Structure 1
């Protein structure tokens, strides 16, 4: 217990040092500080947070996974092309068991998180990304989770 607390404290300290080169954010009472962010993204728009779970392949052997170069090409050609304003990619471990299987599949996974306006065009872009990933990997499905999001810039 003591050891894990010590490790956590050390990590927090290192994170503080790593960010010490960043300029301080303006204080609310300072001139120029505002809660109004990007005026091109009105707060009244309906926003959605969508996560796509993209399997890179089995945890082992690593050679059967989508390579870093193929992933980067897919990211550039399919995702960035459709969502140039931004997104987040998280490295993850995924596990699932198909019906009738005795052992779960253990998968290297990328979780793509996109905050987007709730429009038909954005939904079409998400479907296109999912289809392109299935074509690239031969996967039968790409898990998508969407939920309303309160977004502020």
Structure 2
């Protein structure tokens, strides 16, 4: 059996409302400077293409990045993840950064 842990998946869109898409270099810098200090033991990055129905009824899509974060559940880590999401929204003019949380059992 494994250990009870928390899994969080934040999803970051790479398009901006007015301007160029977020570059690979900008994403990497954000990971290195903002995310890695909070999760120095490791994380996984997933490349994806998001799709949703806009308020105007038009189907929209954009390139995105997801993180797979596994950690011992704590209020401090949860708050740190919310700060990461807020920082990304501020830096890159994003409306939202989706967050998915679930308890998991992890063994190495």
Answer yes or no: same fold by TM over 0.5: yes
For the pair shown, the structure with the greater C-alpha radius of gyration is 1
- Residues of 2 paired with 1:124 and 1:102: CA distance? 34
Moved over 6 A (4+): none
For residue 7 of structure 1, what is the aligned residue in structure 2? none
SS in structure 1 opposite 2:54? coil
- Give the match for residue 12 of structure 2: 54
Residues 29-53 of structure 1 deviation map (CA, whole Å, 9 limit, x = unaligned): xxxxxx9xxxxxx93xx41111011
Secondary structure of the 2:106 match is coil
List runs of 5+ in structure 2 lacking aligned partners.
Answer: none
User: Of the two structures, which has the highest relative contact order with CA contacts closer than 8 Å and spacing of 6 or more?
Assistant: 2
* Counterparts of 2:78 and 2:87, CA distance in 1: 14
User: Given the alignment of the two structures, is residue 73 of structure 1 paired with residue 73 of structure 2, yes or no?
Assistant: no
Matched pairs, number: 106
The corresponding residue for 1:64 is 20
> Scaled by the length of structure 1, what TM-score is found?
0.64
- Match among 48, 57, 63 for residue 108 of structure 1: 63
Higher helix share: 1
| Structure 1: gaps (5+ residues) | 1-34, 36-41
Task: State the TM-score, normalizing by the size of structure 2.
Answer: 0.90
**Matched position secondary structure for 1:65:** coil
